[in-house]
Chains A and B, each alone.
Chain A
Amino acid sequence: MALLKQITAALRTLLHRREADREMDDELREFIEASAAEKMKSGLRREEALRAARVEMGSTESVKEDVRAVGWETALETFWQDIRFAFRILRKNPGLSTIIVVTLALGIGANTAIFSVVNTVLLQPMPYKQASHLITIWGENKARGYDLDLVSYPDYLEWKSQNRVFESMGASTDEMYTLTGAGEPAAIIGYSFSPDFFDVLGISPLLGRTFARDEDQAGKDRVAVLNFHLWKTQFGGDPNIVGRSVTLDGRAYAVIGVMPQSFQYPPSVELWTPLTIDPGYAKDRGIRWMRVLARLKPGVTIGQAAADMRTIVAQQRNAYPNTNKGYDVNLVTLRELESGDVRPALLILLCAVGLVLLVACANVANLLLSRAVARRREIAVRTALGASRSRIVRQFLTESILLSLVGGVLGLAIAYRGVRALVAMFPTTISNLSIPRVESIPIDSWVLGFALLASLLTGVVFGLAPALQACRINPNDSLKESGRSGTSGMQGRRLRSALVISEVALSLVLLTAASLMIKSFMHLVQTDLGFHTDHVLTMRAFLPEYKYKTDTQQIAFGSEVLQRIESLPGVEAAGTVTFLPLSGWWGTREVLVAGRPIDPAAKNPRPVWGSVSPGYFRAMHVPLLKGRYFTDEDNASNANVAILSADLARALLPNEEPIGRQVMVQGFDKPRQVVGVVGSVYQLGIGVHQAGVKSEVTSEVYVPFAQAPSHLLCFAIRTNGDPLSLAKAVQREIWAVDKEQAVSFVESMDQLASETMALQRASMILLAVFAALALALAAIGIYGVISYSASQRTQEIGVRIALGAGRGDVLRLVIGEGLLLTLAGILIGVASAAGLTRFLASMLYGVSAIDSMTFVAVPIVLACVALAACYIPASRAMRLDPVIALRYE
């Protein structure tokens, strides 16, 4: 009730200002009258009594002010006055205001853009119920270097039934389907879930339903749930999609549901089917093929869960030494799995952009400080007229907050643009790395809030220093000052110098980081992958099992298609391989030298394997080091052969001649003779940490396609001209052999290579942009300070010139100051950079975090830029006419 009264009273006073004022006047007048009447009783005359009464009260205005101060409406009025005044001041200095607003806009805009990305990729809640409780469970075999290994069915069953920490658990695996009957045959990346998997995740479908408990049984399992993207593109967003039949691998599946747009588990999967257990895999503990996801019981931590799982796995180790020896378990939260690859890059960028904002703030603070000192007369007058210190501080703060809010709004516009550019730079899939698909990064309320907060904070941060500085100015001195004292403007000099030094230091750190990234990227680009990426057309085909049941069928398809492709004009060489390098797909097999005793716990080489056609190596320009490539004679009727990569040969047979030796390749009963050694290839690319294998794989073992066909064929076709120009022709040849064969991932090897480095490239470019921005800002800062300092010392310089100082002396005087500041900044910057760049180490390739060349070159560059920034004010000072200078005030 009292609150309401307060508000209404305040509003009434605001609106009827004059009436309230008049009422106040009346009341005070009556008070004086009554007081005078009282005094007259003791004998004073009326005029004297009135005067005495007025003197007692003091200034009527003052009393009215005090009364007005009660109640918040005055604060509001004062606030409004402050804002209007701030506007006027800022408009009087359009140049300065513009520089400040633009500087801030860039700083805040860059920050907001990066924050949007970070928010969407790292912080955005996943569309699952209580996503923080979702844990993926992997096998771990330290001896063999696996930390994210798949799981076998019998192991999974035991995990599910014996654990005490999870409330639910599900399994999944990837599938490849060929979709026919709806336009061109399409290769669909599918995923099969155990029926309760969707429940473990805790998400409801957009349309229809997800799997029922019994739909993993044969006969009931011909159901599919579609991805939102697939539904929209392949099926045109058909509202009656539920119940429709689709043909996958020649079999009819009923569509039972569509998932919402936000659901992408795992990224780039288009379709989900129920997980059925192949009877061959059901009992084999050694075949590891499943991915396990589980939901923690409420209140259980991941540490506790890991401990529980470890005991279960230990029991399995003891009970089944043949298959489980050396295996442990690894638990990773879903969040980390999905964003882990991008997280370090994003965090580094966030820090970098924060530094840029700091530099911007320092710059602006500097500018405002100089201006505050220039306005000292104004402040002196206002103080003399009765303005309180807090009022002046408030005034300055209002100005800076206003500037930063305008800068923030502009920055938001910049961010909007910037985010779109960022999305283009961060690709959605990089050779199967799980980067969450981000079609668009929204500017949502979180981001807006962040921008607003950043604006306000910067306003306060850089406004406070000048504001407090302004107050420290003694009004007496300012009023008496004539400007000739020579110490004018020296107030706050230390603060300004400190700001410039910190700007230089911060830019140095950023520049060093950017240079390291650039150097690392150059290394990356120049490292030989083991094959040539230019002029190679690639595409992938997955032969559906229902059609290509026998080896003969697969071999026939392969050879016929290759024959047709090779006869196309413009094709130099063509070949197929199971797993195309840089595609992100890979498989490994153990390789042993035949005849040597087997040690199950030893770190036997487990190279990437590939089933290749004879023309493959020539198409990819993989060099032959020893022996020979495969030929058409290496087929099913002749001896089993194999080719090793140089690294594998070195690992298996370090000091012996590999050609002619027999090796056992896992999956093949009979030994194979080594007929050739080829150059090693970076199967996964360089500087790329593929989940599951931390080291870069360069060991490969190859077998001829004619002896060991696979359903997966990746084509590598070397062309004379632009590889993509032949894409349609090659596809036509494939369809000439089988018109229902889906072909996917049609791209040039160069494109693929570029994609694998996309993350590095994006980080490098962004970091370089930020560093350049910081450098520009620091240069402006130095320019500003030196320029101001020189103008303050105009008289002194005039005196010196008049006394005979030469141009060179003046130059040295002005530049000397600038260089001193720069030097100090560089020293601090180098020291900080040396300590901070270690956080960059995980993203650097072939470059140490304290690369000496970089640490020497960058300060030199910075010093040169600083020198250039000092030069302009210095040359101006040099050209001073001493007569004018001496009269300067």
Chain B
Amino acid sequence: MTDSATTLVQGTLDMLILKTLTLEPLHGFGISQRIEQISRGVFRVNAGSLFPAFRRLERAGLIESEWRQTENGRRAKYYILTESGRKKLNAETKEWSRQIAAIARILEARG
């Protein structure tokens, strides 16, 4: 299966991670699964991209982490969206939509 997630630009991956955390905190694997699920298999992000992104986001204060118990009784590091993370996600989403609409217009323009 092609790993088209590796072509995801850093900033986009960050945004996707933030998005997946809006509903509830997740651990690393959970985030990876969620992204794959929601994108219907288009994006598969590997650990090598995810974990640096986590650290980046954490350093930027957009997410927090804490160790919790999973459903299976194991301990895992969960990531939680912070207030500033939520704000940033809103801003990025707006900007992203704007750009997508513009690209769509350009691609559909005749002549």
Contacts and interface: CB of A to CB of B under 8 A. Distances in A.
B46 A58 contact: yes
Interface stretch (A32-40, A692-700, A844-852): A32-40
Interface in A227-284: none
A31 B72 contact: no
Interface string A472-501: 000000000000000000000000000000
B33 interface: yes
B9 to A, nearest CB: 16
B48 A63 contact: yes
Given A5-B59, A27-B77, A70-B55, A37 B47 contact: no
A67 B51 contact: yes
Interface string A9-34: 11000000000000110111011011
Given A27-B76, A27-B77, A30-B76, A69 B52 contact: yes
Interface residues of B, number: 25
Contacts of A71: 55, 59
A30 B52 contact: no
Interface string B61-85: 1000000001010111100000010
A30 B79 CA distance: 14
Nearest to B51: A67
Nearest to B59: A6
A717 B60 CA distance: 87
B96 to A, nearest CB: 22
Report whether over half of chain B's contact residues are helix, strand or loop; otherwise say mixed: helix
Interface string A58-79: 1000110011011100000000
A69 B51 CA distance: 11
Contacts of A9: 58-59
B25 interface: no
Contact of A66 (B32, B52, B75): B52
Nearest to B77: A27
Given A56-B46, A58-B46, A70 B30 contact: no
Contact of B48 (A24, A27, A30, A62): A62
B58 to A, nearest CB: 8
A63 B53 CA distance: 11
A66 B51 contact: yes
- Tier of interface size on chain A: 20 to 34
Report whether over half of chain A's contact residues are helix, strand or loop; otherwise say mixed: helix
A303 B75 CA distance: 81
Contacts of A66: 48, 51-52
A24 B47 CA distance: 12
Nearest to B61: A2
Contacts of B77: 23, 26-27, 30
Interface in B10-36: 27-30, 32-33
Nearest to A60: B47
B56 interface: yes
A385 interface: no
Nearest to A57: B47
B29 A28 contact: no
B48 A58 contact: yes
A2 B47 contact: no
A5 B84 CA distance: 13
Of all A-B residue pairs in the complex, the 10 with the closest CB atoms, nearest first, are A34-B29, A2-B61, A57-B47, A70-B55, A30-B76, A66-B52, A27-B77, A31-B28, A67-B51, A31-B29
14 contacts: A6-B60, A9-B58, A24-B51, A26-B75, A28-B47, A30-B29, A30-B75, A34-B27, A38-B29, A57-B48, A58-B46, A67-B52, A70-B59, A71-B55
Interface of A: 1-2, 5-6, 9-10, 23-24, 26-28, 30-31, 33-35, 37-38, 56-58, 62-63, 66-67, 69-71
